[in-house]
Chains A and B, each alone.
Chain A
Amino acid sequence: MRTWTRRRFLSTTAGALASALLVACRGGQPEPTPAPTTAPAAPSPTTPPVSLPTPVMEVTPTPTTEAVRRGGILHFNLPGDPTNLDLHQATTSTDLWCIGPCFDTLLQFDPHDQTKILPDLAIRWDVSADGMTYTFYLRQGVQFHDGSPFTSKDVQVNFQRIMNPPEGVNSPRGVFFNTVSQIETPDDFTVRFLLSQPDPALLYNVAIPWTGIYPAHLIESGADLRDTKNIIGTGPFKFKSYTPGVAFELERNPNYFDKDLPYLDGIVGHPMTDWNAVAQAFLAGQLHLYRSLTTPPLDLFQGKADIQVVGVPTTLVWRLILNARNFEPFKDERVRQAITLALDREAMIQAMTEGRSVLSGWMHPYGAWALPEERVRQARGFGKDKEADRQQAKQLLAEAGFPNGLEFELLAFNLDVTTPSLIADQLAQVGIKANVQILQLGEYVQRIVAREYQVALGFNAPWVDEPKSTFGAWITSDENVSMTGLWSDELIQLYQQIERELDVEKRKQMTHELDFRTLDEISFGMIYVYRPVIWHVFRPGILANWTPQPNYNLTEKHATTWLRS
């Protein structure tokens, strides 16, 4: 996710670098589904939520009554070159957009609705009554791109790699499976996950595309999976070629387990770092689809009825991280609450997302766990009367011993330089002086890791809209993990209950409670700022059977996507 702002910054840096160097040197058809060969098992009483309220989005559904047109190559932008082509290590959308379509996972998210989970390599699953054993029944006759057959051993070896990566391998999502104590393979087509405690989030985590399955023999050989020759999965597309800076190309896998799929002959991702170039390439018909976190040049698309520009609130949330270790006043909850009261989130939504985002809690507003809007409105600083909020903020500051306001450093990185200044402006209205310091990403991350900041602006970026993913990283009292040095034992206890709760409705209620209280009380020093939007630009008359989603990391296989021309 890169922005024009950052590009501009980088271009400037490049100019500076060149100058420095100069000085130094001398100076449709029926809706196609992934077609499970067997229907999923009827959910057992303890099956966690795999289908919950349908999201409401301003997206024109793709008509699916017409005949599918096969063939064609899908072209889209990549925000840059991929950085890590090992799916288990990769962390960026770019990486996933490149190699995601080459892999299958045990389960998958519905490409048209991220709140639904569908079968993939597992055709059905069941969960024991105590929630401690998950059994997946695997699809038979599946082949990897290198011709080797897919069996339960592949699943076992892959998850072992994700959970306990070998030396030199960084597995950012290993922690998702910290409740898995053992993986058994009773036969070639059955896998059993034995847990140390109930973990209803497991079904989501085996469905995220980052847990794609490689052949066991490849992993066991110790091969470097970042190498393009090792992009071997069972997915609908195979790796074709990669020229850095030019194109990442995939081709149709003729041996895909669903003989009807994929419809496309191939996919090409074009690394493009300049957003203007992306918009122009789209207008010239060179791209079928483009996505960005920054607002596209809407004026260029005006009056073009064939083009649809959709802004969907993302699963990412901008947040302020108050570090009480380095700034004593943050230990006083009145100071923290004054800050949340001072923020005008609706003004930021207007300014930064053209009004396309919505006020929400930490959980996604269109997702299964969403905190209802009327409840969000009740949280401190989320009400409609901003003037009253500001008065209250000033009063709280005075009570805390800062009648003349206070001053701290606000650390941000160069992805978005407008948001930090907006925050500083809003804080100034209650007498808080935030000195914004914009750093290059590398330097920023270093300061974050070392906890060298008073206040930092960053993302809360869940891999999937699920409570464990959303809260797991920061609802903690662990001094090594906490980014703020602040916590509430009561809320940690609540979170631990959510982690284990098997009853869907109860889990949802508890999540609402946690969501609301973390917004309102600021007991963890994390302040919700606003949810940016992902912009999707495409021609619905050409791109068929594809639906914009709030988290573009989850539905990138394109098995059922097709092109009308």
Chain B
Amino acid sequence: MFLQYLARRAIGGFLVVLLATFVVFVFIRVAGDPAALIVGGTGENITINPERVAQVRQQLGLDKPLILQFVDFLAGLITGGLGNSFVTGRPIADELRVRLPLTIEIALLSEFTAWIFALPLGLFSALRRGRFTEALTRIFFFVASAVPAYWLGLLVLIFVLLAFGWRPPLGLVPPTQNLWVHLQQIALPILVLGFVLAAGLVRFIRNAVLEVLQEPFVQVARAKGLAESTVVMRHVLRNAFAPTLAFSGLRVGYLLGGVVIVETTFNLPGLGLFFVEAVARRDFPVIQIAVLILGTAFVIINLLTDIACSLIDPRLRERG
């Protein structure tokens, strides 16, 4: 039954990714011609020979019917190549080798940091509901959730620079080469993004905990004479955890958006910048792979979240 459910979700997810890829595939072709950009350079020199543009279109296969181009793209994927960038001619796989692990690292560690911030604070503000300390926590996190990541990142960078004359070392050193330098490079972006992500999470945890605190079984647990800490840890937290995890899964898009922004602010060579540049340059193959990767990530993370939730809360498994 559970396996059936999983299979159903996996097929659904696959179709969603395929559909998203197709939709983006069509839309990017409506808005802007990469051939013109390739022939025309950066827009500084726009006296372009239309014949050359037509020639480049043909070389890139852009003169074929849309559906045929899409089939070509899928066939390329199946035969194992991610293809080459229209603009640089470099294999996309080469670019991903550095960028993909970095983005995954930042995304995971930021989310982890967000939980570290949010879990105790959320719990604290729920348990101290109505008190002055709770109000303080709430005000703090209302403000935090209104602060955009790029602005906070900028502020932190300028503060650290002016106060200590320090800035994370330029570029990116792989952790295998020098872990210390690597940590210096990723620590600030992770803290910043983690903090911004935590703002929403705190509120959610607080509400989830409050909701659970109203449940009869909490009263029963208290009535049994269990210590308050046991009630909170074993009964409240566990039951508040599942919806929070599901919420977190739904926020993957938001997380990825945040990663793009801190990568830009902190000048880290992740997928975000690469994909944003690709959009500006109308680099179709890169955009398509971007949608494919981000879409797949979204679907997989949601699937994993569902599985995790059902492990935590067996009732979900039965309903599923």
- Determine whether the beta carbon of B261 is less than 8 Å from that of A15: yes
For residue B318, CB closer than 8 A to chain A, the reply is no
- Determine whether the beta carbon of B88 is less than 8 Å from that of A442: no
Closest beta carbon of chain B to A124's beta carbon, Å: 32
Closest beta carbon of chain A to B199's beta carbon, Å: 16
With A84-B87, A276-B154, A441-B280 as contacts: A270 and B170 at CB distance below 8 Å: yes
With A10-B280, A25-B16 as contacts: A441 and B42 at CB distance below 8 Å: yes
Q: Which of B16, B34, B261, B277 has most chain A Cβ within 10 Å?
A: B277
- Determine whether the beta carbon of B260 is less than 8 Å from that of A18: yes
- Determine whether the beta carbon of A18 is less than 8 Å from that of B88: no
Closest beta carbon of chain A to B97's beta carbon, Å: 9
Residues on B with C-beta less than 8 A from A247 are 170-171
- Determine whether the beta carbon of A245 is less than 8 Å from that of B98: yes
Stretch of B47-55, B75-83, B200-208, B219-227 lying at the A interface: B47-55
Q: Which of B43, B89, B264, B282 has most chain A Cβ within 10 Å?
A: B43
The interface bits of chain B over 32-60 (1 if a CB of A lies within 8 angstroms of the residue's CB, else 0) are: 11101111111111111110110010010
Q: Which of A245, A316, A413 has most chain B Cβ within 10 Å?
A: A245
- Determine whether the beta carbon of A445 is less than 8 Å from that of B88: no
State which residues 86-141 of B face A: CB under 8 Å: 87-90, 94-95, 98-99
Closest beta carbon of chain B to A90's beta carbon, Å: 9
- Determine whether the beta carbon of A81 is less than 8 Å from that of B43: no
For residue A141, CB closer than 8 A to chain B, the reply is no
Residues on A with C-beta less than 8 A from B254 are 18, 22
For residue A483, CB closer than 8 A to chain B, the reply is yes
State which residues 154-188 of B face A: CB under 8 Å: 154, 157-158, 161, 165-167, 169-172
Closest beta carbon of chain B to A14's beta carbon, Å: 4
With A14-B275, A19-B253, A243-B98 as contacts: A280 and B167 at CB distance below 8 Å: yes
- Determine whether the beta carbon of B44 is less than 8 Å from that of A445: no
Query: Bound state CA distance, A258 and B87, in angstroms?
Result: 35
State which residues 2-22 of A face B: CB under 8 Å: 7, 10-11, 13-15, 17-19, 21-22
Query: Bound state CA distance, A449 and B299, in angstroms?
Result: 40
Residues on A with C-beta less than 8 A from B152 are none
- Determine whether the beta carbon of A276 is less than 8 Å from that of B260: no
For residue B310, CB closer than 8 A to chain A, the reply is no
Residues on A with C-beta less than 8 A from B17 are 25
The interface bits of chain A over 102-146 (1 if a CB of B lies within 8 angstroms of the residue's CB, else 0) are: 000000000000000000000000000000000000000000000
The interface bits of chain B over 269-310 (1 if a CB of A lies within 8 angstroms of the residue's CB, else 0) are: 110111111011110000000010011001100100000000
Chain B contact residues, majority secondary structure:
helix
Residues on B with C-beta less than 8 A from A226 are 88-90
Contact of B95 among A7, A85, A244 (CB under 8 A): A244
- Determine whether the beta carbon of B33 is less than 8 Å from that of A442: yes
Stretch of A183-191, A350-358, A370-378, A473-481 lying at the B interface: A473-481
- Determine whether the beta carbon of A84 is less than 8 Å from that of B88: yes
Residues on A with C-beta less than 8 A from B44 are 1, 91, 316, 459, 461
Closest beta carbon of chain B to A246's beta carbon, Å: 4
- Determine whether the beta carbon of A170 is less than 8 Å from that of B282: no
With A25-B253, A25-B299, A284-B161 as contacts: A481 and B170 at CB distance below 8 Å: no
With A14-B275, A243-B269, A284-B167 as contacts: A448 and B20 at CB distance below 8 Å: no
- Determine whether the beta carbon of A444 is less than 8 Å from that of B87: no
- Determine whether the beta carbon of B167 is less than 8 Å from that of A11: no
With A25-B20, A284-B165 as contacts: A1 and B42 at CB distance below 8 Å: yes
Closest beta carbon of chain A to B54's beta carbon, Å: 10
The interface bits of chain A over 467-487 (1 if a CB of B lies within 8 angstroms of the residue's CB, else 0) are: 000000110000011010000
For residue B256, CB closer than 8 A to chain A, the reply is yes
For residue B23, CB closer than 8 A to chain A, the reply is yes
- Determine whether the beta carbon of A445 is less than 8 Å from that of B99: no
Closest beta carbon of chain B to A136's beta carbon, Å: 27
Contact of A245 among B33, B90, B274 (CB under 8 A): B274
For residue B31, CB closer than 8 A to chain A, the reply is yes
- Determine whether the beta carbon of B42 is less than 8 Å from that of A10: no
- Determine whether the beta carbon of A273 is less than 8 Å from that of B267: yes
For residue A212, CB closer than 8 A to chain B, the reply is no
With A91-B45, A224-B89 as contacts: A443 and B267 at CB distance below 8 Å: no
Residues on A with C-beta less than 8 A from B167 are 280-281, 283-284, 286
For residue A168, CB closer than 8 A to chain B, the reply is yes
- Determine whether the beta carbon of A274 is less than 8 Å from that of B16: no
For residue A172, CB closer than 8 A to chain B, the reply is yes
Q: Considering the complex, give the chain B residue whose CB is closest to the CB of A271.
A: B269
Contact of A24 among B24, B41, B94, B165 (CB under 8 A): B24
- Determine whether the beta carbon of B267 is less than 8 Å from that of A272: yes
Closest beta carbon of chain B to A380's beta carbon, Å: 25
The interface bits of chain A over 250-273 (1 if a CB of B lies within 8 angstroms of the residue's CB, else 0) are: 000000000000000000001111
Closest beta carbon of chain B to A456's beta carbon, Å: 8
Can you list 19 residue pairs at the A/B interface with Cβ under 8 Å? A13-B276, A14-B275, A24-B16, A25-B253, A27-B253, A80-B277, A82-B88, A83-B87, A84-B87, A84-B89, A224-B89, A243-B269, A245-B270, A277-B157, A442-B32, A445-B48, A448-B40, A459-B44, A473-B45
Partner-B contacts on A (CB < 8 A): 1, 7, 10-11, 13-15, 17-19, 21-22, 24-27, 75, 80-85, 91-92, 168, 170, 172, 224, 226-227, 243-247, 270-274, 276-277, 280-281, 283-284, 286-287, 316, 413, 415, 440-446, 448-449, 458-459, 461, 473-474, 480-481, 483
List the 7 closest pairs (A to B, CB-CB), nearest first: A245-B269, A22-B253, A442-B32, A91-B41, A18-B257, A461-B44, A284-B167
Given A24-B24, A280-B167, A445-B43; 5 other pairs, CB 8 A cutoff: A10-B276, A18-B253, A244-B98, A245-B99, A440-B31
Partner-A contacts on B (CB < 8 A): 16-17, 19-20, 23-24, 31-34, 36-50, 52-53, 56, 59, 87-90, 94-95, 98-99, 150, 154, 157-158, 161, 165-167, 169-172, 250, 252-254, 256-257, 260-261, 264-270, 272-277, 279-282, 291, 294-295, 298-299, 302
